[in-house]
Amino acid sequence: MDREYVRQTGKLPYLMPSFLETSNCQRFDCQIYAEVRKSEQRLYLYKGGALINTWLVSTGKAPKAETPLWEGHPNGRIYDAYSSTASPGGDYKGLGNMPYAVFLSGGYAVHGTPEGNWKYLGTKASHGCVRVHPDNAKIFNRLVRQYGVEATWVAVIN
């Protein structure tokens, strides 16, 4: 999928950490901090330690697709257009079924969801990723691109 993305867009899907600038930030120490509270099905987005947005999300539907608890910097794979081959279906304005994906670890990402899934935001409905409205996914994607993965921290908590 990464080669296809490069071929279609001419862009690399990875944001590489700066070798000149390292960050040991965690949570509120980072410029961008996203806290996903599975019990509330909400994402709290902080910039510079101040809450700037709260969004409904859909996390994994138990028991087979539970979203794992996780904390860390995103792994650097960031896309505008992305479609899952494991869970195909839907499209959002030509950007695939996972628009504005910011991958956290392995195959888990924070990403937009096609319009047919908007009614499920606020409930457990995903295959393990953190789904948000595409407009919100774009905001998060752009903040991660602007500040970099080394200045971004994501926590998925109960």
- Going from N- to C-terminal start, the domains of the chain cover 2-17+25-157
Taking the model in full, what pTM does it have? 0.84
Q: Is the pLDDT of residue 24 over 70?
A: yes
If pLDDT is split at 50, 70 and 90, which confidence band does 19 have? very low
Predicted confidence (pLDDT) per residue in 99-110, tens digit:
999 999 989 999
Please name the CATH architecture into which domain 2-17+25-157 falls.
Answer: Beta Barrel (2.40)
Q: DSSP string covering the chain, please?
A: -HHHHHHHHSS-SB-PPPSS------GGGSSEEEEEETTTTEEEEEETTEEEEEEE-B-BPTTTTPPPPEEE---SBB-SS---SSS----STTS-SSTT-EEEETTEEEEE--GGGGGGTTSS-BSSSEEE-HHHHHHHHHHHHHH-GGGEEEEEE-
**Mean pLDDT confidence for 41-48:** 99
